[in-house]
């Protein structure tokens, strides 16, 4: 009996690698959960739903959006870091995990060890908007007003304390030698609405939130914090053009998973999303019309290298702005 059990055990062990390969070749055999770190209806949620629905065909399966808002995306990042690496739970946007790792000494995970970066898809820059009826026509007008407002500093909004938009505004003011009063809101949509209603003088928000309000004449976009000018508003300069040391602040759309994802699964996910971003002209146009650009990583390994670069860039921005998350 013991010899029989031993023989059976050895046979199962010998077959287990084949079983693993068979399981991976059958992937996906059920819907894949795509965790979005923000609420339904947010700009991240809208883009995740749009792109994942179109990636489903080349992927050979479906994605189900799982909204997990909380603590500026930290809740979702911590959950993903503890998820089993079977490919059935992924997260939209690696920037959330990187931002909290840059902001906090103990975010609840090791950003360089607890995730599998899979593929980058697109970038949208943060843009500075002012109410359309304000006299400021250029970003230099805002600089002049901020420097002159010693007794009553300009008020600026953001989607929350310690968000990249908050850091961008604080860094900009520091670079021009001015001060401002920060007014945090529950999200970038609310901060942009506050500009329209005159509650604050300006606010940074991601382009796909601010651009529609610019186009209908509610706000005026004066500068982008992107690395290059937006094709949708080529006349709008970047902060780096107008201000020496001006920060680059972008919102990246990407797909990540927990650490330990098998390479075959990683390659299948990356291939599906890359295919739809490359071939879908309508999707590429929509992203460009929102002020964004398609930015595909050449491979999962290349995306992993970008994480370290982004982590350093955010730490530099934090140091410049002097802000820490509360």
Contact between 16 and 49 (Cβ < 8 Å): no
In which residue are the tokens 């930290």 written? 74
* Selection from 14, 325, 276, 305 nearest residue 121 by Cα: 276
For position 80, what pLDDT does the model report? Answer: 97
Name beta bridge partners: 90: 34
Contact between 283 and 49 (Cβ < 8 Å): no
Contact between 172 and 249 (Cβ < 8 Å): no
Ranges of H-type helices in the chain:
2-25, 43-59, 74-81, 95-103, 139-148, 164-175, 188-196, 207-215, 239-242, 263-279, 281-289, 300-321
Tell me if residue 31 falls in helix, strand or coil: coil
In which residue are the tokens 């055999």 written? 29
31-123+251-321 against 125-242: fold identical: yes
Enter the tokens of residue 151: 């007794």
Q: From CA 278, how far away is CA 272, in angstroms rounded?
A: 10
CATH for 31-123+251-321 (3.30.365.10, 1.10.3720.10, 3.40.190.150, 3.40.50.620): 3.40.190.150
* Selection from 300, 127, 326 nearest residue 211 by Cα: 127
Q: Where are the domains of the chain?
A: 31-123+251-321, 125-242
Q: What is the pTM of this model?
A: 0.87
Taking the chain, what is the end-to-end CA distance rounded to the nearest angstrom? 63
pLDDT in tens, the chain (326 residues): 444 444 434 444 444 554 445 555 689 999 999 999 988 988 899 999 999 999 999 999 999 999 998 888 899 999 999 999 999 999 999 999 999 999 999 999 999 999 999 999 999 999 999 999 999 999 999 999 999 998 899 999 998 888 889 999 999 999 999 999 999 998 889 999 999 999 999 999 999 999 999 999 999 999 999 999 999 999 999 999 999 999 999 999 999 999 999 999 999 999 999 999 999 999 999 999 999 999 999 999 999 999 999 999 999 999 999 887 55
296 phi-psi bin (left φ>0, alpha ψ -120 to 50, beta other): beta
Query: What does the angle CA 102 – CA 321 – CA 68 come to, to the nearest 5 degrees?
Result: 45
Q: From CA 267, how far away is CA 264, in angstroms rounded?
A: 5
CATH topology of domain 125-242: D-Maltodextrin-Binding Protein; domain 2 (3.40.190)
For position 164, what pLDDT does the model report? Answer: 86
For position 10, what pLDDT does the model report? Answer: 43
Q: From CA 265, how far away is CA 27, in angstroms rounded?
A: 7
């Amino acid at each position: 009996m013991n010899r029989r059990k031993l023989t059976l055990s050895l046979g199962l062990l010998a077959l287990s690698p084949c079983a693993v390969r068979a399981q991976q070749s059958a992937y996906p055999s059920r819907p894949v959960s795509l965790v979005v770190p923000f609420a339904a209806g947010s700009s991240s949620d809208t883009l995740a739903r749009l792109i994942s629905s179109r990636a489903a065909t080349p992927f050979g399966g479906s994605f189900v959006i799982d909204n997990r808002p909380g603590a500026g995306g930290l809740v979702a990042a911590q959950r993903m870091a503890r998820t089993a690496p079977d490919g059935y739970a992924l997260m939209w946007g690696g920037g959330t995990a990187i931002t909290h790792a840059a902001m906090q000494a103990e975010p609840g995970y090791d950003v360089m060890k607890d995730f599998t970066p899979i593929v980058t898809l697109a970038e949208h820059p943060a843009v500075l908007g002012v109410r359309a009826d304000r006299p400021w026509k250029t970003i230099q007008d805002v600089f002049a007003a901020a420097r002159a407002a010693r007794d009553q500093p300009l008020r600026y909004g953001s989607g929350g304390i310690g968000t990249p938009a908050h850091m961008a505004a604080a860094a900009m003011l520091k670079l021009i030698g001015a001060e401002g009063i920060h007014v945090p809101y529950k999200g970038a949509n609310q901060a942009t609405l506050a500009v329209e209603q005159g509650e604050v003088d300006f606010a940074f928000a991601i382009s796909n939130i601010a651009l529609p309000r610019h186009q209908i004449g509610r706000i005026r976009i004066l500068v982008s914090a992107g690395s290059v000018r937006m094709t949708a508003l080529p006349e709008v300069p970047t902060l780096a053009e107008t201000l020496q040391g001006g920060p680059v602040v972008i919102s990246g759309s990407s797909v990540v998973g927990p650490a330990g994802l098998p390479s075959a699964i990683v390659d299948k996910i990356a291939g599906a999303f890359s295919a739809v971003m490359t071939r879908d002209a309508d999707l590429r146009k929509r992203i460009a019309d929102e002020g964004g650009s398609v930015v595909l990583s050449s491979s999962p390994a290349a995306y992993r290298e970008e994480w370290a670069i982004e982590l350093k860039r955010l730490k530099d921005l934090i140091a410049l702005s002097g802000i820490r998350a509360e």
